Amino acid sequence: MFGSTPNGDALGMDGAVSEALLRAGRYLRRAETSADLRAVYRVGGRDSDAFQRGQWSHDAVVRSTHGVNCTGSCSWKVYVKDGIITWEEQQTDYPSTGPDRPEYEPRGCPRGAAFSWYTYSPTRVRYPYVRGVLLEMYRAARAELGDPVLAWESVTGDPLKRRAYHHARGKGGFVRAGWDEAVEMAAAAHVSIVKRFGPDRIAGFSPIPAMSMASYAAGSRFFSLIGAAMLSFYDWYADLPVASPQVFGDQTDVPESADWWDATYLLVWGSNVPVTRTPDAHWMVEARYRGQKVVVVSPDYSDTVKLGDEWLPAQPGTDAALAMSMGHVILREFYVNRQVPRFVEYAERFTDLPFLVTLRADGGSYVADKFLTEESFKPMVFDRGKGPVAPNGTLGFRFAESGMGKWNLDLGDIDPLLTLYGESAETVEVRLPRFDVEGVLNRGVPVVRVGDQLVTTVFDLVLAQYGVGRAGLPGAWPESYSDAAEPYTPAWQESITSVPAEKAIRVAREFARNAEQSGGRSMIIMGSGCNHWFHADTIYRSFLALLKLTGCQGVNGGGWAHYVGQEKVRPLTGWAQLAFGFDWARPARQQAATPYWYLHTDQWRYDTFTADTFASPLAEQRFAGKSVADLIAQSARLGWMPSYPTFNRNPLDLADESADPVAHVVASLQDGSLRFAADEPDAPENWPRALTVWRANLLGSSGKGHEYFLRHLLGADSAVRAEPDGDVPEGKLDLLMALDFRMTSTTMFADIVLPAATWYEKHDLSSTDLHPYVHAFNPAIAPPWQTRTDFAAFTAIAKSFSVMAKTHLGVRKDIVAAPLMHDTPDELATVNGIVHDWREDGSTPIPGVTMPRLVVVERDYPAVAERMAALGPLVERLGAMTKGVRFELSKEVEYLRGRNGVVREGSARGRPSLARDTDMCEAILALSGTTNGEVAAAGFADLERRTGVPLKDLAEHRRVTFADTQQGPVSVGTSPEWSGIEKDGRRYSPFTLNVERLKPWHTLTGRQHFFLDHDWMAEMGEQLPVYRPPLSMSKLFGEPAIGEQGELGLAVRYLTPHSKWSIHSEYQDNLVMLTLSRGGPTIWMSPADAARIGVADNEWVEAVNRNGVVVARATVSHRMPEGTVYLYHAQDRLIGVPKSETSGKRGGTHNSLTRVLIKPSHLIGGYAQLSFAFNYLGPTGNQRDEVTTIRRRSQEVDY
Amino acid sequence: MRVLAQMAMVMNLDKCIGCHTCSVTCKQAWTNRGGVEYAWFNNVETRPGQGYPRTYQDQQRWRGGWALNRRGRLKLRSGGRLRRLLSLFSNPHLPKLSDYYEPWTYDYQNLITAPAGDDLPTAKPTAPIVWSANWDDSLGGGPELAQHDPVLKTMSERVRLEFEQAFMFYLPRICEHCLNPSCVAACPSGAIYKRTEDGIVLVDSDTCRSWRMCVSGCPYKKIFLNHQTGKAEKCTFCFPRIELGMPTVCAQTCVGRLRYIGIVLYDPDRVLEAASVRDEHSLIEAQKRVLLDPRDPSVVEAALASGISEEWLEAARRSPVYSLIFDYGLALPLHPEYRTLPMVWYIPPLSPVVDAVRDTGFDGEDAENLFAAVDSLRIPIGYLASLFTAGDPAPVRDVLRKLAAMRAFMRDITLGREPDESIPASVGMTGELMYDMYRLLAIAKAEDRYVIPHAHREPTTEAFNDGCSVQDSGRVMLPMPKVRAS
């Protein structure tokens, strides 16, 4: 029966006795045992495995997804059994990408897979809570005064009472309140603050609307309708790449992950795709199989390096040095020594490289000054053999009647010269700033004279900046690639990044040659590892230069792929109407959050330097003697950045004081009787008074300068160790309210906590930039205990507010100061980027030109709830504007009357209903071009008139309803809301519309920019791509230099990259994720650094700098480079964080060691693409330049 | 020839991103219960690393799987059957809970209920946190921890755990549903069985007597004792789903799209022979010989005679598992030297590859460079060989060369150039075969990754007719001894 083993023994089992024993047992079992007694076989059946069958059985599978702060937008199956959510698993029913590429299934990640843990977890917020000390005082006052608003005022107006509940913040002592009582308190606070201080003293904070559009819009609609400010998040998170508005005139527009597949060369730069783009990582992995090469730049041996072909371990924050040297190689080998026709054509048509720049005499030399313009906002190129000419498509054609039909990239007969070299014999030396060592480079450019102006091209300046010399040009140039003294050679970068010069050269060559061979299919995935630095915009500009030079942008499989926050609200137009109440009143108050927090958490009071610290060696002293806060105030009064609270008076009162409130405000500003609040942010009349946070953990996750928030905004205990400048207020907010389903630092410090429904308990919509679909949230169960959806919670607050408003507010006029907006004629305010400050030169400020636009808006406060629940009349009266394109929507309003029903009573009588969350979802889809082909067609028709190029054919006849999204993910369509062409199942890649249809970018030249000519960009030394090293915390704040070891331990670079076990702070408290990780805060460090401070793996350490203290355990791995530690983002302080030895208080969050530092150039506004739009432009809340000391602490910890 | 069908899996480690989604979805679906908090039917371990439970691969210590005795006869490594029967009550090779990890939680309630105090409340852990199911995740070893990695210890070449030399990859593991399962043989009660129809290895919890011999008998340590019920539990290959043609939870939710499920046919009468091959390096070939070619007419005939249905045969012919093992020769078993004939196979990870050829120009276009690179990979071939080929580097090298050649071959096609047939030829393949391999690995549509025939559950009285006199609705009714608490 059996064969033989090679040594001749019979096959079989080990021994005869045991066989006999077992053989006897064989007959007792109803199963087949193998003759050798080795195996037992049995036919499975319905009965034998009942236990597992029981486990698997379930009653329903419901489609939903996860809500905020994750680009995944993965559709999930939620399993329900006996009315209980049991587990989740990914949906796999995404529309196909076609036969020859992978599919999107099954999107998801371990964090999302662990979400259902929250539903019944002990950290679930099940009831409304109010801090006991506040509730007692309020109840007493309410009983005494009989009016909620008066009761609120009596508590918060009493300094002792105010101090008492401020000081109790974050120290436990919550008591349960009923919904009615909690809502009444919140509404009373809001009514009172509107009345006493003004609606712009109220703010709402909620991020990332794409990942639950209705939940965001429910709250932001309430705040917008009462005139409160919504705070931005993308810039505040430092996820906004400021280089994107600078270069593209676009917030951020990136390829879907399926387009990674089209790339044949992929640089992954400062991004950890498997960890932070988990559901998309497979595209990168699989594309390698079709021959894509993957090169990873990362300071540590990251998860992405594991998948890459090559690893360039650049020192943290030095990435621009590497990119600049790659640019040096590409310019030398693909433009100067040899020209690639495709590259040159692309550069001439789609970049500002051929545009002419004037040179200004500066001592014995010259500096680059301004674009040469024919008339305002019409920059010029040099037409071969003819001379300067203003081509179509520049900003001057965009809004003027005379530009109708000419705002396009059709060059006609113009043959623009990239370089004047050879065209002109004349050369001059220009001075260019360098920052690796502070100094100036002198390098020559060819010039021509136009009138009395000396001009050169952007391309010639770029060659000078990059140090790519040509025979006969004056100045100091690198001798070769191995010249380490001159920027920006490969050898020079090696001394900074520690990446071997030879590697930089080779990767640059491969990158460009691949682009040449593939028609532009070289791609750079760039992430927060590069984008969260103070000078991240310069880092990104050095990356984007590589893509523009090689013609990769606007090509499927090529270009930038920035995935840091953002998350594309694909149905943008409809969502924006609802979210900001544009259907009832325009404009809404939208605030750039970073300066807001910087001022109101008083981090500015801890600055020990002036703004010119950041300026160029060639600066003209525009920032001299000014603090960064002074520049914020200047930016506010010039209308560049929004600023709420705006004035030191209630805007409702200002509007009441004159029949012409605008003139009244201007006059009062001039005579000094009215001040901008930003001039004196610490004056009590200028404090923010109420803040509501929902769908977010501001304090435990995104709040850079966490300890400053606690001390100054909240008046709570903090571990700030730095000394402020003078007496600084502590405790500004009367009310901090949080809506959440779990306990976070934000709920712990909030005065009122409202219990929120989770993502498995409501209706909503989700979309992302990573895939081209919209899909639904649906409730798998009803919101349990006393939880409510955000929609229901804000509806309740609005109703209560409206009732109290009848007595306390009535109908009021509100004067809104709106910044000069991008994609509107406002961006023509600053001619040639030359800054005039009316206060400094004594001129009369002009609203909408040299100061904010002033708009009087009617606030019908008693009607707020009714307006929230109905689609307002401005939708059809004014249409919707998205990125400068007008969408006509009256037919869609009629459609929504039918679909959602009509309001029959009250002030919104006759309007389409938005009474339910599903109504809101329906309206979002109906009013957007991506989900409604009619709307897209209307937008393209408008854009056709302006550009004169055919576009309408791109719109497809389709309408996505909410029911469709509940069935499964639905593909979106091409729309002028975005820049990619998706028709006929094509993968989304940004700017294909621009490249293929000659539609201009939304910039000054209408092209992608290398050169930025605003005064402040020159002041910063950042007219051109440049390398700026990380900030020195020793120079700025006297922190020890990296590598120094002292009493507080070893000084190290402190980075907070995104974690494998959480999406920001969500999931880092989830028991499943804690079990798979180290179960609480850890700091990753190299074995060498661990040895220096004598710490072993999993031992407790304490990290201390001037901003605060962190207590964590050490994770020691040789994956980490020396001199750098990681505290993965975002580790809140609620899970197993002991008391600190240093402060005696609870150890901090990852942001206890960070603070906000504002880059002055991010404050620019009112000039072409450098104009404000919400989450489009604004100072970033960067945090990567930070350092800390770290040491082994006592291993006895106390909680 | 008898023919049985075996449900099997292949995991392409080159695609694994180490995300642990598989672990979490499996945990949530199957072991999110009392008594098995510590059990991860599916886990993902970072290599180098100690694994879960820690050092489980050290069979000198844990004595799992099979070995040959002096006469070349197969025996459980934990000792002869008699010895094990006699030592039922003191099993020295059983991992302690701390070898897995001791589950912990936190005082979450404190966050809500803490009375007014003088500091921020925190959720204190219930115990000091010192080890977990995934403690060395993504460390690339870590200098203190990797020294205990049993695989690293078996390697002859020295591995430097230093920054510039760092390497790591992920190894997801489930029950191997072996053709020669040592857990089945180790169970004194006969409670573990292999399903005749699809080879899935299950525990009959009614029969389990909590002896835990299966726990020590399994060299992969994929049988877990439920501390509340006292019963053994294990990965079921999600049979309630498989029977409906649905992939296992771990496969369905694998966002790396690296798992393949299909059936293979095998001859149960050849198993013992294959498991008894003396030379460890010959075990893979022996294991492959047990598997039958579903396109071979004689196999088809025998399969039909053995009661395997036509659609199951069709599924066997379309099986991605069979293709990856035989047509493309990419899949290797995990630790063939355990002699259990495991049925979860792995494609070893290729990357990163090009660092090694940094001086030789653009790699993606030059297959020769890639081959040079395979021998100086960041991940040492010796480490992979210790996992998949009982230490023989040749089969691992062959697989990595095929993967590298595929990338070079496909690059030409992707860029619209003439494909270079010499590239596939250099690894013994045709261009068409290599292109099909590329499609299965890269495009990998769900219907190609998972070829799972529906189970036959129609009542067939013959199937239950085994002549057992105590048969009653398929369940053996015997008095239940009291289970000792562990």
Structure tokens at B439: 């499609």
Asked if residues A804 and A188 have their Cβ atoms less than 8 Å apart, the reply is: yes
Whether residue B363 is predicted with pLDDT greater than 60 in this model: the reply is: no
Helices (H) and strands (E) in chain B, counts: 22, 13
Contact B200 A44 (CB under 8 A): yes
Cβ burial of A611 (10 Å; 0-12, 13-18, 19+) is buried
- Which residue in the block uniquely carries the two structure tokens 């404000």? A1172
- CA angle in degrees (0–180, nearest 5) for A465-A468-A474: 80
Look at residues A383, A381, A376 and name the one whose alpha carbon lies nearest to residue A403. Answer: A376
pLDDT at A795: 98
Cβ burial of A1038 (10 Å; 0-12, 13-18, 19+) is exposed
pLDDT at B371: 57
- Give the integer Cα–Cα distance in Å for B255 and A108: 6
Give the residue on B whose Cα is nearest the Cα of A745: B120
Whether residue B460 is predicted with pLDDT greater than 80 in this model: the reply is: no
pLDDT at A46: 52
Which residue numbers in chain A have pLDDT < 50? 1-9, 21, 24-28
- Give the integer Cα–Cα distance in Å for A252 and A1176: 8
CB-closest option in A113, A506, A1199 to B25: A113
- Give the integer Cα–Cα distance in Å for A197 and A995: 50
Give the Å distances, CA to CA, from B407 to A290, A510, B401: 6, 16, 10
Residue A1118 with chain B: CB contacts under 8 Å: 140-143, 161-163, 166
Structure tokens at A1113: 């355990």
Instruction: Return the C-alpha torsion angle A839, A841, A847, A853, nearest 10.
Output: -50
Report pLDDT digits (tens) over A950-967. 999 999 989 999 999 999
Model ipTM?
0.95
Asked if residues B307 and B265 have their Cβ atoms less than 8 Å apart, the reply is: no
How far A305 CA lies from chain B's nearest CA (Å)?
Answer: 7
- Give the integer Cα–Cα distance in Å for A771 and A257: 6
- Please state whether beta strands A229-231 and A589-591 pair in parallel, antiparallel, or not at all (unpaired): parallel
**Across B22-168, where does the E strand assignment appear?**
43-47, 66-68, 74-76
pLDDT at A520: 98
Residue B181 with chain A: CB contacts under 8 Å: 39
Residue A285 with chain B: CB contacts under 8 Å: 14-15, 17, 256
- Give the integer Cα–Cα distance in Å for B141 and B275: 32
Query: Please, what is the end-to-end C-alpha distance for chain B in angstroms?
Result: 44
Other beta carbons within 10 angstroms of residue B157's beta carbon come to 8
Residue B43 with chain A: CB contacts under 8 Å: none
CB-closest option in A41, A86, A1119 to B166: A1119
Asked if residues A560 and A526 have their Cβ atoms less than 8 Å apart, the reply is: yes
Query: DSSP per residue over B151-220, as a string?
Result: HHHH-SS----SGGG---EEEEE-----SS-HHHHH-TT--EEEETTT--EEE-TTT-----HHHHH-TT
How far A508 CA lies from chain B's nearest CA (Å)?
Answer: 12
Structure tokens at B243: 């029977």
- Please state whether beta strands A365-371 and A40-42 pair in parallel, antiparallel, or not at all (unpaired): unpaired
pLDDT at B479: 38
How far A61 CA lies from chain B's nearest CA (Å)?
Answer: 13
- CA angle in degrees (0–180, nearest 5) for A360-A364-A370: 10
Better-scored residue on pLDDT, A1140 or B479? A1140
Interface with B, mutate which of A87, A1117, A1196, A1198 (most B CBs under 10 A): A1117
CB pairs under 8 A between A and B: 443
Structure tokens at A1140: 């600190």
The residue type found at A391 is P
Report pLDDT digits (tens) over B100-131. 999 999 999 999 999 999 999 999 999 999 99
- Which residue in the block uniquely carries the two structure tokens 């008139």? A945
Residue B104 with chain A: CB contacts under 8 Å: 1075, 1079
Q: What pLDDT band is residue B463 in, cutting at 50, 70 and 90? A: very low
- Give the integer Cα–Cα distance in Å for A155 and A863: 27
Percentage of chain B modeled with pLDDT above 90: 79
Radius of gyration of chain B (CA): 24
Helix (H) or strand (E) holding B383: helix B381-388
Inform me whether the C-beta atom of residue A729 falls under 8 Å from chain B C-beta atoms: no
How far B485 CA lies from chain A's nearest CA (Å)?
Answer: 20
Residue A311 with chain B: CB contacts under 8 Å: 352, 355
DSSP letter (8 states) at residue A117: G
Residue A102 with chain B: CB contacts under 8 Å: 257, 442-445
Asked if residues A846 and A667 have their Cβ atoms less than 8 Å apart, the reply is: no
- Which residue in the block uniquely carries the two structure tokens 């092209």? A1007
Return the axis-axis angle of helices A933-947 and A890-900, rounded to nearest 10°.
170
- Give the integer Cα–Cα distance in Å for A704 and B78: 57
Residue A1119 with chain B: CB contacts under 8 Å: 138-140, 163, 166, 168
Sketch the domain layout of chain B as residue ranges: 263-449
Query: DSSP per residue over B435-473, as a string?
Result: HHHHIIIII--HHHHB--PPP--S--HHHH-S--TT-ST
- Give the integer Cα–Cα distance in Å for B59 and A402: 84
Residue A506 with chain B: CB contacts under 8 Å: 358
Residue B161 with chain A: CB contacts under 8 Å: 1118
Inform me whether the C-beta atom of residue A11 falls under 8 Å from chain B C-beta atoms: yes
pLDDT at B370: 59
Other beta carbons within 10 angstroms of residue A668's beta carbon come to 17
Asked if residues A416 and A1006 have their Cβ atoms less than 8 Å apart, the reply is: no
- CA angle in degrees (0–180, nearest 5) for B469-B471-B477: 105
pLDDT at B467: 47
State the architecture of B263-449 in CATH terms.
Answer: 2-Layer Sandwich (3.30)
Return the axis-axis angle of helices A179-196 and A790-808, rounded to nearest 10°.
50
Q: Is B92 left (phi over 0), alpha (psi -120 to 50) or beta?
A: alpha
In the Cβ-directed half-sphere of A858, how many Cα atoms lie within 13 Å?
A: 7
Report pLDDT digits (tens) over B144-153. 899 999 999 8
pLDDT at A24: 46
Query: Helix H segments across A519-592?
Result: 528-531, 536-549, 572-579
Report pLDDT digits (tens) over B48-79. 999 999 999 999 999 999 999 999 999 999 88
Report pLDDT digits (tens) over A301-342. 999 998 998 899 999 999 999 999 999 999 999 999 999 999
Give the residue on B whose Cα is nearest the Cα of A169: B120
At residue A1040, the 3 state secondary structure works out as coil
Look at residues A895, A886, A900, A904 and name the one whose alpha carbon lies nearest to residue A946. Answer: A886
Would you say how long chain A is, in residues? 1199
Give the Å distances, CA to CA, from B247 to A404, A789, B8, B454: 58, 35, 11, 11
DSSP letter (8 states) at residue A1138: -
Inform me whether the C-beta atom of residue A16 falls under 8 Å from chain B C-beta atoms: no
Q: What pLDDT band is residue B421 in, cutting at 50, 70 and 90? A: very high
Give the residue on B whose Cα is nearest the Cα of A508: B362
Contact A102 B443 (CB under 8 A): yes
Query: Helix H segments across A812-853?
Result: 838-841
- Which residue in the block uniquely carries the two structure tokens 């109908």? A811
Interface with A, mutate which of B138, B282, B362, B434 (most A CBs under 10 A): B138
Interface with A, mutate which of B209, B414, B435, B460 (most A CBs under 10 A): B414
Other beta carbons within 10 angstroms of residue A688's beta carbon come to 27
Other beta carbons within 10 angstroms of residue B278's beta carbon come to 12
pLDDT at B165: 85
How far A352 CA lies from chain B's nearest CA (Å)?
Answer: 30
Give the residue on A whose Cα is nearest the Cα of B189: A25
Structure tokens at A896: 């929504």
